[in-house]
A and B are shown apart, each in its own frame.
Chain A
């Protein structure tokens, strides 16, 4: 099999080398990163005490068949994982030196194994069980608003409007979802009203940035302040004076998908969720197709990349932007609903707690692509969930370091370390004929 895969690559490489005079320099960034992480894994293995054991819980309550508690001898497990990681890093270095493109499975596998190695090390002899399924469920729960927010930012920025107000849209969505669900005593009514709130914030954003051409970033920052103030004000007055009417807890019911939700580990994580999460799968899928395969998507991207050209062929640039940002606001509003009705919580002041900014970061790290943004948001959600888990079992690594991780990664990404991050060309510039 290896012969078959190598030979076409070699065939392709031959004429390339001949035709181009200067060969592109080998990028050593990724191999070096892998090597450093593999060395870290080896370090974990070395520092593991002999005879220590790490416990994993792989099941949740209603599984099809119960998986017993998994108990691993820490040291051998750590060493095996570390050796595999070293092997993978070696493969990456070899591939780079041979100018073979690394496939996507390598970073994914490397990431999963590294996290496992880290968990084996962190959980060794703590006396605590690492609840793997709970951790993954938590990761998804933390990611949902981020994914919605990132999709919102993506639709806006693909059409040329920077949206710093994702935070405001999430918060507004959370607020109106809670209030509507409470007033109508039905969580599904919250689901109807949440997008309205987000879309209203989006409408304000385009009202100022498209109609009056105010700097989009400034409008976004100010809208954040406005919505924090507005929801805070209403929370401190109406919602606290009469919480039974305005701010009673409502929760969207869980709708396990028969069959799929019985799959061990991923079943309860992915397919025993509320309709909001299924909506999220749908939105990401739809956006991924429509953004690149539909007339709407082509026009959206044209408006964001080169509005003048789009205008020349008859696309109404500003109208497109207005519709898209309002639509995107609706998506973010849905994401906000997850904070309240999605988790069965009442509204609390500033409960989005910076998720909008992480969503922005996820969108950038995902290079303005729905799938990329999805993966980035999942990564951020997972690192936060990992941080929370570690905080409870008590490990040498401070949970704050893991909570910072999304932001640090984003800075590296923006600074050009993780590939080239290029926003849509006309992002942030108002279009005037």
Chain B
């Protein structure tokens, strides 16, 4: 998001002598298009468009009316198109009405309720997504959001109904418990990585599954769930430990959203303004250089995952104390994996993560209404978000789909000849572009990066961090 400013040698008006030979030849329109294709938010929007198209195909394929009209497609093609249009309009308008603004609602209060629902869904996504994002910026792929959320929810919920305390204190203590639970779970992976070099991807995946069984076991223990029944369901969180409602009883929006905003600001400060954040980013960029510069790499590594786990745990705590109130086996749903999507979508930036969390929360909230009104299963939201992330991760693909010019200015179809030409007259090309061309990649990105427009340090999870031996 904020990274779209500095491009790799693609400042809006490059000096004439720095222009590559083919850039001179192309017109102003194509240059504008090229810059458009490079801007990360354009890629994001186009990715959403691709996802909606894929979703549309699925919705149409699964719809009975459309199937029926397809059977007489050649006799009456308009019927098929009309039915398809009708079905899609219903589905996607339900998605929108469920996520943002419901113009069919009987009252104004009901009309704006969807937006608040979106916020409710986005709270744990934003918080956990911030945790994942910190990991990405520090060069660590924390796949363990799920486990950390579960641990956060488990400990926050338990503190929420097992203790009886005054109103303000109780909720704070429960939240702190959630942070601690998540931080411990993240810390296991962090300490193991720092001390033994254990690959954090593997450890966090394993911890996810351990957390699921741990919760399942706890929910069979009477001392833990305190319900007296055999149902694997805990008792409800005390009123004093619940996050207070922001908009009154008609809405589910709770103070967790404020926590999410504060956490976003806090993470921004941590990463961009604090010494610790600088160390995090430094070990993400180049651990060797960081070590040379006197940064305690093992300590920073462990701390990254502790903080990341704490944030995810806070997300789980907010989810239980604000929305769910009860712990069940599936309390975390797919939140942990959605949080990874959120962090990727937000390009590991705090503000970007916040907005991406809102987007995904909106998809969730809208998906519920879409399922209720049009019978389109909510699973389609998973497809949408997966397609969005895949597209964002591979901008050249998005550019290819939309016939946008290539990132380094080579026209799409004459790529090969252009490259050959570049080799003969490479003295004219600026150094950076030349390096990219000789890299021989099918696209202009340097190897391992995910987005072309973001050369700002640390915007994407480096691909190098997985090659270190697990020892």
Contact = CB atoms under 8 A, between A and B. Distances in A.
A360 to B, nearest CB: 7
A415 to B, nearest CB: 4
B441 A229 contact: no
B15 interface: no
Interface residues of A, number: 59
Contacts of A361: 202, 205-206
A233 B441 CA distance: 36
Interface in B420-471: 439-443, 445, 447-450, 460-461, 463-464, 466-467, 469-471
Chain B interface helix/strand/loop/mixed: helix
Interface stretch (B30-38, B209-217, B256-264, B278-286): B209-217
B217 A398 contact: yes
Contact of B202 (A404, A414, A430): A414
Nearest to A223: B386
Given A212-B396, A404-B214, A411 B383 contact: no
A237 to B, nearest CB: 4
A82 to B, nearest CB: 28
Given A212-B393, A215-B448, A422 B192 contact: no
Given A222-B390, A226-B382, A407 B471 contact: no
Contacts of A241: 64
A389 B34 CA distance: 63
A423 B390 CA distance: 26
Nearest to A237: B62
Contacts of A221: 143, 337, 340
A410 interface: yes
Contacts of B217: 398, 400-401
Interface in B29-63: 58, 62
Chain B interface residue count: which class? 35 or more
A360 B202 contact: yes
A404 B208 CA distance: 10
A386 to B, nearest CB: 14
B467 A357 contact: no
Interface in A384-423: 398, 400-401, 403-404, 407-408, 410-411, 414-416, 420-423
Given A215-B141, A400-B217, 7 more contacts: A216-B463, A222-B344, A230-B383, A354-B212, A358-B209, A411-B192, A429-B464
Interface in B63-102: 64
Interface string B195-210: 0111101110111111
A238 interface: yes
B168 interface: no
B450 A215 contact: yes
In this complex, the member of A358, A416, A425 whose beta carbon has the largest number of chain B beta carbons within 10 angstroms is A416
B122 interface: no
In this complex, the member of B188, B192, B470 whose beta carbon has the largest number of chain A beta carbons within 10 angstroms is B470
Given A225-B334, A225-B386, A410 B206 contact: yes
